[in-house]
């Protein structure tokens, strides 16, 4: 039986990578899906492929978020859940991270997550109950090393935001985060494989399972936290990282 039958879900960042894999899986599990992404063409391509709705949205822009969430909820006849997967990477360390890069990284990854939750919560409350899953990162629990200061700060923020909001929105809305390790997507294509196309040995060495992950492996965890199978879970930060955080 479909695990999300009748559910109406917004997926930000659904045009690529983890968000796209989640959109595909959620449709296969019976949900209606609205893909909210700043990339119009890619969002439309995914929506056309799986039978979803595409809505252009910059999650860092409050007006864009409230208009897009309202449009998606109207098109689906309501809203039962959100997956916040939109995000950007910035890899520089403290000396090379400008104030603008720091602010933009937080604006998309952290403020964007906040804005979408704020806009979506009244619709989910009106539906009676629902779920929110935020994609944080393993580096939000434990950085892998020096660098990526803005990204790490934004993802630590997503973990804390999730815990805070989960208390405020309970019991109607369960709010959890997923903390991926290295997953092969457009975001990581520059470093997840070496020049010959082989998986990076340096990354593989950091993981108990000896490899990086695939977007579908994250989508499965996001499905679990969205489905009723996780009905007694809220406020958690779930590592899905091949054993990196303890390795």
Ligand X SMILES: NC(=O)c1ccc[n+]([C@@H]2O[C@H](COP(=O)([O-])OP(=O)(O)OC[C@H]3O[C@@H](n4cnc5c(N)ncnc54)[C@H](O)[C@@H]3O)[C@@H](O)[C@H]2O)c1
Contacting residues toward ligand X, per CB under 6 A: 12-13, 15-19, 37-39, 57-60, 85-88, 108, 112, 135, 137, 180, 182-183, 185-188
In Å, how far are 70, 72, 246 from 218, measured between CA atoms?
Answer: 27, 24, 18
Looking up tokens 């360390």 gives 93
> Which one, 127 or 221, has the nearer CB to ligand X?
221
Residue 129 CB, shortest distance to ligand X, in Å, is 25
Which of 84, 151, 185, 227 is the catalytic position? 151
CB of 155 to ligand X, least distance (A): 7
State how far the Cα of 90 lies from the Cα of 112, in Å rounded to an integer.
16
Catalytic residue flag (residue 207): no
Supply the minimum distance, in Å, between the C-beta of residue 145 and ligand X: 15
CB closer to ligand X, 29 vs 184: 184
| Alpha-carbon gap, residue 242 to 212, rounded angstroms | 7
Question: If we measure between CA atoms, which residue out of 46, 28, 33 comes closest to residue 7?
Answer: 33
| Closest CB to ligand X among residues 59, 127 | 59
Residue 35 or residue 127: which is nearer to ligand X going by CB? 35
- Which secondary structure element, helix H or strand E, spans residue 177, and what is its range? strand 173-180
**173-180 sheet: strands from edge to edge:** 53-56, 32-37, 8-12, 81-84, 130-135, 173-180, 237-240
Q: Least distance in Å: CB of 80 to ligand X? A: 21
Residue positions annotated with a catalytic role: 151
């Amino acid at each position: 039986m479909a695990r999300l039958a009748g559910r109406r879900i917004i997926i930000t960042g659904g045009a690529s990578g983890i968000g796209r894999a989640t959109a595909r899986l959620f449709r296969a599990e019976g949900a209606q899906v609205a893909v909210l992404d700043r990339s119009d063409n890619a969002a439309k391509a995914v929506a056309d492929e799986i039978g979803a709705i595409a809505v252009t949205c910059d999650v860092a822009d409050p007006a864009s978020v409230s208009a897009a969430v309202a449009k998606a909820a109207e098109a689906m006849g309501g809203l039962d859940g959100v997956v916040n997967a939109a995000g950007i990477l910035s890899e520089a360390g403290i000396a090379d991270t400008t104030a603008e890069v720091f602010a933009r990284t937080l604006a998309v990854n952290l403020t964007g997550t906040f804005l979408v939750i704020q806009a979506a919560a009244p619709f989910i409350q009106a539906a009676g109950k629902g779920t929110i899953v935020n994609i944080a990162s393993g580096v939000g629990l434990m950085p892998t090393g020096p660098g990526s200061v803005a990204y790490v700060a934004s993802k630590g923020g997503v973990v804390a935001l999730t815990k805070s909001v989960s208390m405020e929105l309970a019991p109607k809305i369960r709010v959890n985060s997923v903390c991926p390790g290295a997953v092969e997507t457009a975001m990581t294509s520059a470093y997840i494989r070496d020049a010959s196309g082989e998986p990076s040995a340096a990354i593989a060495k950091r993981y108990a399972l000896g490899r990086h992950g695939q977007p579908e492996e994250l989508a499965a965890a996001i499905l679990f936290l969205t489905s009723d199978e996780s009905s007694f879970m809220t406020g958690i930060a779930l590592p899905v990282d091949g054993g990196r955080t303890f390795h």
